[in-house]
Chain A
Amino acid sequence: MMTTLIHQSAAELLGLLNAGQATSAELTRAYLARIDAVDGKVRAFLRVDPSAALARAEEIDARRKSDKPLGRLAGLPVAVKDLLCTTGEPTTCASRMLENFRPPYDATVVQRLKAADAVLIGRTNMDEFAMGGSNENSAFFPTRNPWDTTRIPGGSSGGAAACVAARMAPLSVGSDTGGSIRCPAALCGVSGLKPTYGRVSRYGLVAFASSLDQIGPLAGSAEDCALLLEVLAGHDPKDSTSVDRPVPDYSRTVTEPLKNLRIGWVREHFGEGLDAEVEKAVREAIRGYQSQGATVKELSLPHGKYAVATYYIIAPCEASSNLARYDGVHFGHRTDEKAMVAELEAQRKDLHQRGDQKALDDLDNALIRMYRRSRAEGFGPEVKRRIMLGTYALSAGYYDAYYKKALQVRRLIRRDFDEAFKEVDLIVGPVTPSPAYKIGEKIGNPLEMYLYDLYTVSTNLAGIAGMSIPCGLSSTGLPIGLHLQAPPFEEDRLLRGAAMFQQATDWHTRQPEI
């Protein structure tokens, strides 16, 4: 029973719950047992609270038994990326900085999950502050790819993708700033959707880059993503960038194939740097659509070549400002003040004795020293790198050359998409240049890591919707993702396009042996 439960889709599980053929407690126990069994190898979760999850499941079961009204996800376990604020629970962003942060409020998305009667089963690992594409930047430990635990699961929502791939949760919530849902979904062989900017409230999502961040679902299939997105999406008066548009019933329409579908593939995405096996799988997928009656068109997104550069200006600039609040005064880790003050005094005394007035003048005051120390100790190297990049780019004299220019290019990138979507309904292509690489393989080369985002960052810069679904396995048995992109607020089209592919293929049903 237990093994069969965890291998079913969320939609199927919901059917069992509604039909009284399974209880939420059984389900939750099954997933908790699976976590127990495999997470030692995968390390997708930063924290799991089995008793709280079970208590919640039992409470939902009791309500179901007494025919009380239940939410959309009643009794289904959902994993949450550890950057969504949850009242009274640690929300660490996988950073030493926020190791002890317990927000006094719920993110809107967490509120919605609670209102939908989801069972929040655990908090997933990630790159620190969502900065990274490999999960190696977690301050606590790297998550491993369930298909090959010597490899990265992708990032930054690596834990979110890995826990679905290893069947430790049927549904999982991640966030995507430059590919952080789609990249790990691709590398772990699951389905993951980055909604249109403004579709899901960001209130309570600890910000990395405010104009790019978007919360979205990861699951075993497009159908399950539809179910979860339906709960996550919607206007929120607490987020001025959330858009007031009705949320379609994604899960009702997701299985309806798209008629007269026009798909486009981008010439520039099939050039140098793309792994041959990935290219083969993606071209195969395109042929699959063709055989389902879709017309295929070759496209150009001429400004796409600037996307990575543009992204690595805008995202760090916003991050440098968003992360300024972690200074040890109000939020985040504070250095050991006693030791710091003692050290400062000793330095002052020493300089005084040596009569070095200049060094004395330059010596930090206690507040500045506290800021420096706290931030130096609290942030990991990648976060520091991006804060420095952003601080530099926003500095007087550089703003026009970097940030302002990047905003201009960003508009051109969006315009490319607007033009392209006049001719096609969906744009398809690779998600990542290659399947999952080895842990540690690129850690010394940040630029190479940044280039790994090259197919996904444009979606965020343009603010449109994008999705990754499994479309093959490499010769070494690693998942390959297919990237689908749709115009703003066409998540319904995206999900139906993905479901269409999944109706004709079984890549999304493949599961790693772990």
Chain B
Amino acid sequence: MPEPYTVVIGLEVHVQLLTESKLFCGCSTRFGSAPNTQTCPVCIGMPGSLPVMNRRAVELALRTAVALNCEIPHFTKWDRKNYYYPDLPKGYQISQYDLPLSRDGWLEIMVSPLPSGEGPGVRADVLEEGPHPNPLRAPTEGWSGEGTSSTKRIGIIRAHLEEDAGKSMHDEAAGKGDSRIDLNRTGTPLLEIVSQPDLRSPEEAKTYLTELKLLLNYLGVSDCNMQEGSLRVDANVNLHINVAEKGTAPEKGIVPLLLRGQSPFPAAEGIIATPIVEVKNMNSFRAVERALAYEAQRQYREYQETGRKLGEAPKSTRGWDEASQTTRLQRSKEESSDYRYFPDPDLAPVIVTEEEIEQIRADLGELPAALRTRLEQTYGITPYDSDVLVNQGRPLVDYYIELAEACGDGKLASNWVQQSVLRTLNERQIGIAQFPVRPAALAELLSVVKSGKLETVRARDVLQAMLETGKSAAEAMQALGIVEVDDAAVEALCRELLDANPKIVAEVQAGKEKGVGMLIGQAKRKNPNLNAARFRETCLKLIQGMN
């Protein structure tokens, strides 16, 4: 039975950009160095020091924003977000407040169709009065495609640049011990990508994150390593509960409109929105999925117990606890965090010209969605196959394309890449760049397979030999003693075995062709190079001739 509510999720993703140096100074952004070795007067906020903007970071941010179909204003600026924390040495973070470098974009994700509509009222709200001024977005909003591969556009509210803070390491020994601060990370460029609350399930949230990460990889703007903190996710989640369905009279005017930071969906009549909860501390996409699933159930339970609706309780923050697989309250009081934003007087505003935006657009390269379509159209593979290939990243796709071109069979190439190649990469924990067999060499092998002269099973042995010895396909086949068995030899072997097995001959003559299969094993033992299909074919022909 479907849940009596819709989950409404918006995600805030922070990604560290792949710049050599920090956002406002020349210090390295490398991860894992000894604490406080990648610092200078600027990034540690030494009195008198001044920030100088890293152009490269802005370029990477714009590149991402353009790829996310965002509007890029021609004027953007830096603001100070003032708050006290020991890992924030200046007492403020340089960020972007009211004029971010991009806004109103979208990312398309593939979704499985929902079983029974996606919850009352919500979709209609988006379609009819969604708060999105971006004309690019509205007309294509919603579902497209049919059957199993629908796509959905997830709105991007904004993507802006800011500097990362340092890391605090707390001694957990209750109340004792000092906290330690590592400022190596301080000032690393962070792109904050804020989605609309367009996600409707934990699975969708995970899909969005996977697609976003893939896009960032293709753009080469971030390595998105969650373990090293180069990609961090916070989620805002609440429920729209259908109270009408349960037979209760619809309440009117129950949901306050568009409070700051809250879901921009005015829930329709008969729908109750629960208070929004921010979930933090999720260290993997799987954790995001689980935390959101847990949180949805928890909120529903809480609503049933307390009846509390959006606007009746302050927004709270909960942390995902991996060990207990639950979320725990971190902050409930409305500690009205007043960041006293104001334009940073140490930095000039950034002017972005139309030409620059066009240049960035021209240099974007082929992005995952377009690449999937091209693979399907050019090489005749299925959407599933193109998805698997594209999701592995551009270098693997390039390998695939080279292979498909060289062997002339996109489907065959796709099967081999997905099976043998990916398995090897997994086993050896290497990337495609380290895969020893280059596409041309593999194509040579596949051509033999394609000609029917080599069976897949044997061909795998050949590839294994190529991987181990670095030999070419021909050399490896030779080393394995694989030579083509000529027609005369096949026929001789057939006669030999048929003569020795009159019972099978009789069976076949009686119409049970299956019997020939029993001879294949024997034949293979006599000559491992024998092609089973040809053997079978020859046998049948011979038996026919016996009549």
Most chain-B Cβ atoms within 10 A of its Cβ — which of A205, A318, A325?
A: A325
Per-position 1/0 for B320-363, Cβ under 8 A of A: 00000000000000001010111001111000000000000000
Q: What's the nearest-Cβ distance from chain A to residue B331, in Å?
A: 14
- With A240-B348, A394-B340 given, name 17 new contacts (CB 8 A): A84-B48, A103-B47, A203-B48, A203-B50, A207-B346, A210-B345, A241-B348, A321-B82, A321-B342, A324-B91, A325-B45, A325-B47, A327-B91, A329-B89, A330-B89, A371-B84, A394-B342
Answer whether residue A206 sits at the interface, using C-beta atoms and an 8 A cutoff. yes
Q: Which positions 38-71 of chain B face chain A at CB distance < 8 Å?
A: 41, 44-53
A:202-223 near B, CB below 8 Å = 202-207, 209-211
* Chain B window 109-134, contacts with chain A (Cβ cutoff 8 Å), 1 for yes, 0 for no: 00000000000000000000000000
Query: Do residues A240 and B342 form an inter-chain contact, with CB atoms below 8 A?
Result: no
Which residues of chain B have C-beta atoms less than 8 A from A211's C-beta?
345
List 9 A-B pairs, minimum CB-CB distance, nearest first: A324-B91, A211-B345, A394-B340, A210-B345, A204-B48, A85-B48, A206-B47, A330-B89, A206-B48
Say whether A461 faces chain B, with CB atoms less than 8 Å apart: no
Q: Are A105 and B47 in contact, CB atoms less than 8 angstroms apart?
A: no
Residues of B within 8 A of A (CB): 41, 44-53, 80, 82, 84, 86, 89-92, 181, 336, 338, 340-342, 345-348
Partner of A202, one of B44, B50, B80: B50
Contacts of B338 in A (CB 8 A): 395-396
Q: Which residues of B contact A83 (CB under 8 A)?
A: 48
- Selected from A101, A239, A317, A371, the residue in CB contact (under 8 A) with B342 is A317
Q: Which residue of B lies closest to A106 (CB)?
A: B48
A321 touching B46, Cβ below 8 Å: no
Counting residue pairs across A and B whose Cβ atoms lie within 8 Å, the total is 104
Say which residue of B47, B51, B340 sits within 8 Å of A91 (CB atoms): B47
The answer on a CB contact under 8 Å between A391 and B340 is yes
Residue of B nearest to A398 (CB): B340
- Check B340–A321 contact: CB distance below 8 A: yes
Task: Closest A residue to B24 by CB, please name it.
Answer: A240
Highest count of chain B CB atoms <10 Å: which of A204, A205, A324, A394: A324
Partner of B80, one of A93, A206, A321: A321
- B92 CB contacts on chain A under 8 angstroms: 321, 324
Q: Which residues of A contact B (CB under 8 A)?
A: 83-85, 91, 93, 98, 101, 103-105, 107, 202-207, 209-211, 237-241, 317-318, 320-321, 323-327, 329-331, 367, 371, 391, 394-396, 399, 403
Whether the pair B52, A237 counts as a contact (CB closer than 8 A) is: yes
Per the bound structure, the CA–CA distance linking A391 and B338 in Å amounts to: 10
Q: Are A327 and B84 in contact (CB under 8 A)?
A: yes
Contact B49 A203 (CB under 8 A): yes
Residues on A with C-beta less than 8 A from B348 are: 240-241
Which residues from B are CB-within-8-Å of A367?
86
Inter-chain contact B50/A240, CB cutoff 8 Å = yes
How far, in angstroms, from A394 to B339 measured CA to CA in the complex? 9
Quick one: which of A84, A318, A327, A329 contacts B345, CB cutoff 8 A?
A: A318
Given contacts A240-B347, A240-B348, A394-B340, contact A325 B90 (CB under 8 A): yes
Q: Which residue of A lies closest to B52 (CB)?
A: A240
Give bound CA distance, A233 to B50, whole Å. Answer: 17
Residues in A with CB closer than 8 Å to B342 are: 317-318, 321, 394, 399, 403
CA distance A238 to B25 in the complex (A): 9
A323 cross-chain contacts in B, Cβ below 8 A: 91
Q: What's the least CB distance linking A225 to chain B, in Å? A: 23
By a CB distance below 8 angstroms, the chain A residues around B49 are 105, 203-204
Distance of A381 Cα from B273 Cα, bound (Å): 49
* Nearest-CB residue, chain A, relative to B47: A206
Q: A241 CB to closest chain B CB, in angstroms?
A: 7
**For the complex, what is the distance from the CA of A394 to the CA of B83, rounded to whole Å?**
13
> If the complex has contacts A210-B346, A325-B89, A327-B91, are A103 and B52 also in contact, measured as CB distance less than 8 A?
no
Chain B residue nearest to A407 (CB atoms) is B343
Q: Which residue from chain B places its CB closest to the CB of A361 in the assembled complex?
A: B333
- Residue among B44, B91, B341 with max Cβ neighbours from chain A (10 Å): B91
In this complex, what residue of B is CB-closest to A318? B345
What are the residues of chain A within 8 A of B50 when measuring CB–CB? 202-203, 238-241
Task: State how many angstroms separate the Cβ of A24 from the closest Cβ of chain B.
Answer: 28
Q: Distance (Å) between the CB of B295 and the closest chain A CB?
A: 27
Chain A contacts for B52, CB-based, 8 A: 237-240
24 residue pairs A–B, Cβ–Cβ below 8 Å: A85-B46, A103-B47, A105-B41, A107-B48, A205-B48, A210-B345, A238-B52, A239-B52, A241-B345, A241-B348, A320-B82, A321-B80, A321-B82, A321-B340, A324-B91, A327-B91, A329-B89, A330-B44, A367-B86, A391-B340, A395-B338, A396-B340, A399-B340, A399-B342
Is the pair B41, A103 in contact by a Cβ cutoff of 8 Å? yes
Contact status of A331 and B89, CB under 8 A, knowing A103-B48, A321-B340, A371-B84? yes
The docked-state distance in angstroms from the alpha carbon of A327 to that of B84 is 8
Given contacts A321-B80, A324-B84, contact A240 B53 (CB under 8 A): yes
| Inter-chain contacts of A205 with B (CB < 8 A) | 48
CA separation between A209 and B346, bound complex, in Å? 10
Q: Which one of B91, B336, B340, B345 lies within 8 Å of A325 (CB-CB)?
A: B91
One of A239, A331, A403 near B46 (C-beta < 8 A)? A331
What are the residues of chain A within 8 A of B90 when measuring CB–CB? 324-325
Q: Which residue of A lies closest to B87 (CB)?
A: A329
Q: Closest Cβ of chain B: how far from A364's Cβ, in Å?
A: 12
Smallest CB separation, A130 vs chain B (Å): 12
- The distance in angstroms between the C-alpha atoms of A209 and B82, with both chains bound, is 15
Query: B82 — nearest CB in chain A belongs to which residue?
Result: A321
